[in-house]
Chains A and B, each alone.
Chain A
């Protein structure tokens, strides 16, 4: 797979480390009433869709930036790439 890095252009996916669903960016509030329940869901439960998936990739052997890819988990087609820090 080729990942089109927003700053560095086309890069081999082997340069990256995969973390998982991009919703991991939204860490629950540890002070919330139901923090235990929220963290259980955050840590363990996943949508795991067949089709479009927003996910976190870390450019370890490159500029060490975190990217958010929109990738199809059936075809591996990547339709969108953005820097994670810009996504907010």
Chain B
């Protein structure tokens, strides 16, 4: 059986960047229901990996498969969230959550008929990340952490099988960030959704992931793959145990090497 998300020997260069490759010989396989984290130096092609796996970019050579099919168009079974929450300021939080449903089928054509049901789903999702009753506020009335929670909800509203997170907590303070780690941890435990998390925070990667992939500097490829066998459910306390810090140290060593 093949993995849920597979990149195999992928080279990619952006149009306009000449022949300079962003990633070269990139291979990664993420199993269904797995929580994968990708770390690497800045500019190494982590976001490019995300775009390749969701069909926003297509490889120059090599193959990308998601859920058993070659990626030829945008992958509609994926939800995405980024460092910036990118909520629309003219929509309430709840209306922001509904945006993907207005785009993606089959919800799009059922929007008119099932609006009430969708609203209820959005409200439930908000409640699950600790935002119950905040749906009628505008994004700019929410704190940064709350906006990022709402952004996560927007990524999940169409019940995707794959969640792509590109440095989603990078702009938050340390306390809020750790709160959101727990939010993501619980969401993933409850839904068993496949997650690919890009981050530059090694503690974040080790705390959340089943496997951590380390990328080389540009052109990026995977240089180390590290299984994290800390028992689940993991509590924030685990981040202070020697086992945890040992893994973080080990990964740090790989990153330092990757940057050279």
Do A and B interact? no
**Contacts from B to A (Cβ < 8 Å):** none
Instruction: List chain A positions with a Cβ less than 8 A from chain B.
Output: none
